[in-house]
Structure 1
Amino acid sequence: MNNEYLERIANDLQFRCSTVVLNGIQTIPIHSVQRNGSSVVVTTGNIKGIENISSLKLLDETGKKIVEKSVNLNIEKSKSISFKLNFKVKGGE
């Protein structure tokens, strides 16, 4: 697939990233969305008081799911955490 087209898709993704939802209920502010070629990196702000992470969703501007990850991760309540989501747009083979 043409590299310019992959960058166009990455650009579209960059501007659609809107909301990060933790454990299906808590919204985390997005600190930045950066694109470099066909790569996109979404970084959240810091949050505190979380004891367990069961899921993390990235939603677009219409509330549709871009990606969702499920985990079972316990965290010390006093810790401050943030998230970094890395995407690389690739062509099919």
Structure 2
Amino acid sequence: MYQVNNTIQSQSFNKLQVEKIAKNDNLEVLSISLEKDFIFPEHTSSRDALLILLEGDINFNINEENYRLKKHQELSFPKHEKHWVKANENSKFLIIR
């Protein structure tokens, strides 16, 4: 009935890796890993979202503003806003939307 997974822990730092951890009608959780100096290209989210940085250091760019996030920090952002992410070191984060 219950299952423990190691998806986040085993996710490699190879450019950009995206794993869907959970999804239902109301919620989606993505685990994302970014290799140092790699950029997650500009895109939008279909829902309002929360980014939680699990490890590393990233620059989150939205509306021509840069937000630097470090381990254990979080940032909320609205749907349909163009944004992109750059890893300053190997980084892993969750997107909850």
Q: TM-score of the superposition, structure 2-length normalised? A: 0.35
Q: Whose helix proportion is higher, 1 or 2?
A: 1
Choose 1 or 2 for highest CA Rg: 1
Q: TM-score of the superposition, structure 1-length normalised? A: 0.36
